[in-house]
Amino acid sequence: MSTQGEVKTIGLIGAGNIGGTVAKLAVAAGYQVVLSNSRGPETLASLVAELGPQARAATVSEAAAAGDLVVVTVPLRAYQSIPVEPLGGKVVIDTNNYYPARDGQFAELDSGAATVSGLLQAHLPTSKVVKAFNNIYFKHLLSLSRPRGQSDRSALPIAGDDAAAKAVLTAFLDAIGYDVVDAGGLADSWRFERDMPAYGVIYFAKMPVAGEPWPDGAATPASKVEQALAAAKRSAS
């Protein structure tokens, strides 16, 4: 894949909250989607029925092979299960976050020697990994989508080492309703990971209160995302 215009099919490895939401936005924007998860295509029948004729379910390897652009949205602990060969040369969107209680401890992440998306890039050496979608609540991802030029359009940060891959992702995000803030390379992707200013609450209409439903989403322009990225600080390792 060398140009933005060639992206017609979105492959999804993982079809949970974020994966399912990206699929909904992609179908609404006119893309074909091929969904997969670790449990098998038959478990995705209801989601495929909801999405309609532009969607189908497949195995993980089939979804990886079918996608012009592939979204990896699995728990970090499972990243090494992602098939390498069918993703060769492709742009891969990494939505993962590091939660030690769920994923176990990764010393290289704890020390700051690596990033979550850097680990996936090392696992997929011939792919072009770009980080996105990890910093927004899935319900807000759906509700904040807006057409280009609308005054209350929100922005999402991305990070990657390949400029052409970032251009492909920028075009996709534009198509599904979002502006983009380039946060730098994969080494900079920590700036919008867990517990950073650009993570989660930046898109909340108000701060969440324990025991209450999560607040609605609020329009978050590129300028606010840029400020949050600049305010990010890593704790000393």
| pLDDT tens track for 152-168 | 999 999 999 999 999 99
pTM for this predicted structure: 0.94
**Which pLDDT band holds residue 67 (cuts at 50, 70, 90)?**
very high
Nearest 5°: the CA angle 29, 96, 13 is: 55
Nearest 5°: the CA angle 111, 115, 116 is: 120
**Which pLDDT band holds residue 234 (cuts at 50, 70, 90)?**
confident
φ, ψ dihedrals at 189, nearest 5°:
-65, -15
Asked if 158 contacts 130 with a C-beta cutoff of 8 angstroms, the reply is yes
At residue 149, the pLDDT reads 93
Asked if 106 contacts 163 with a C-beta cutoff of 8 angstroms, the reply is no
Both tokens of 106, joined, read 């990764």
**DSSP symbol at 183:** -
- Which residues make Cβ contacts (< 8 Å) with residue 210, sequence separation at least 6? none
User: For residue 237, is pLDDT > 80?
Assistant: no
For the chain, counts of helices (H) and of strands (E) = 9, 8
At residue 236, the pLDDT reads 55
For 87-117, letters b (16+ CB in 10 Å) and e give beebbbbbbbbbeeeebeebeebeeeebbbb
